[in-house]
């Protein structure tokens, strides 16, 4: 399977020690990747982030591709499959705040070696990545979002779920499609959109899309899928 086209940013880092593993961070949004990179930076002796891959597969060989599912419908199963088939990737690890029923099995079947909750401390995340690199399969018992990790629209006061609804709205999905992608009801989508409109100071769907696209946090790679 061909790697998706996108932006790859290799980071200037010292060569990893024998104890450190090389990790590529993968997501469509730069803001998400920078937040995660900052979270792991203090643990570079164990887990060395070498690439930030915006809508792209890693450019260089890495032991782990850590895939943040933010903004990806249906748990990003296709993305996991693409990474798992990439010869430059040793193991694929999904990093998520929530997985709908049935999606855990789907991402594991697609090739993920770990599914880690965003409620983990940074130290626990680093430990889990090291253990997965040793051959373990790790699945967190719960999927929650850490309170100190920013997401697109955070400055507007959007909750994480409102942010994901806004991201899919900006991609042109209908309310029904957003509901299916996030495994929520259309009524819940409408409720989230009402909150998004209020927090972004707009009154229509078109104005909301324009406002969302003005926010740098929501900007994807030109080639993001």
154-218 CATH: 1.10.10.10
pLDDT band at 21 (very low <50, low <70, confident <90, very high): very high
Question: What percentage of the chain carries pLDDT values higher than 90?
Answer: 51
In this predicted model, which residue has the larger pLDDT, 155 or 210?
Answer: 210
Q: What letter does residue 59 receive in the DSSP assignment?
A: S
Q: What is the mean pLDDT of residues 8-14?
A: 53
7-139 CATH: 3.40.50.2300
Q: What is the mean pLDDT of residues 108-122?
A: 89
Q: What is the mean pLDDT of residues 59-77?
A: 90
Supply the pLDDT for residue 214.
87
Residue 49 reports pLDDT greater than 70: yes
Query: Helix/strand/coil (H, E, C) string of 86-115?
Result: CCCEEEEEEEECCCCCCHHHHHHHCCEEEE
Lowest mean pLDDT among 9-23, 62-76, 119-133: 9-23
Neighbours of 36 (CB within 10 A): 24
Residues near 137 by beta carbon (within 8 Å), at least 6 away in sequence: 108, 113, 114
Residues near 93 by beta carbon (within 8 Å), at least 6 away in sequence: 64, 65, 66, 67, 112, 113, 114, 115, 116, 128, 129, 132
Supply the pLDDT for residue 222.
45
Supply the pLDDT for residue 104.
80
In this predicted model, which residue has the larger pLDDT, 159 or 19?
Answer: 159
Question: What percentage of the chain carries pLDDT values higher than 70?
Answer: 84
Residue 225 reports pLDDT greater than 60: no
Task: Give the neighbor-by-neighbor strand order of the sheet with 21-27.
Answer: 7-10, 47-54, 21-27, 62-68, 89-96, 112-117, 138-139
Sequence ranges of the domains in the chain: 7-139, 154-218
Rounded mean pLDDT of the chain? 84
Residue 77 reports pLDDT greater than 80: yes
pLDDT band at 144 (very low <50, low <70, confident <90, very high): very low
CA–CA gap between residue 223 and residue 212 (Å, rounded) = 18
Please state the length of the chain.
225
Model pTM? 0.65
Supply the pLDDT for residue 147.
46
Q: What is the mean pLDDT of residues 95-115?
A: 83
């Amino acid at each position: 399977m061909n790697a998706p086209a996108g932006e790859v940013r290799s980071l200037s880092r010292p060569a990893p020690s024998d104890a450190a593993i090389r990790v590529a961070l993968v997501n469509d949004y730069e803001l998400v990747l920078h937040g995660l990179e900052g979270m792991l930076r203090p643990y570079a002796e164990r887990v060395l982030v070498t690439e930030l891959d915006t809508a792209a597969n890693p450019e260089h060989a890495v032991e782990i591709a850590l895939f943040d599912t933010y903004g990806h419908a249906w748990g990003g199963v296709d993305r996991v499959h693409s990474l798992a088939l990439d010869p430059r990737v040793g193991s694929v690890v999904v990093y998520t705040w929530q997985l709908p029923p049935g999606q855990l099995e789907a991402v594991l079947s697609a090739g993920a070696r770990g599914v880690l909750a965003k409620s983990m401390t940074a130290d626990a995340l680093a430990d889990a990545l090291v253990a997965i690199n040793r051959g373990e399969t790790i699945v967190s018992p719960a999927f929650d979002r850490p309170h100190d990790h920013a997401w697109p629209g955070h400055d507007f006061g959007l909750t994480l779920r409102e942010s994901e609804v806004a991201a899919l709205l900006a991609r042109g999905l209908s309310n029904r499609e957003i509901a299916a992608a996030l495994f929520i009801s259309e009524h819940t989508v409408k409720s989230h959109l009402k909150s998004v409109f209020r927090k972004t100071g707009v009154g229509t769907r078109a104005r909301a899309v324009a406002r969302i696209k003005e926010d740098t946090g929501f900007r994807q790679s030109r080639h993001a899928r």
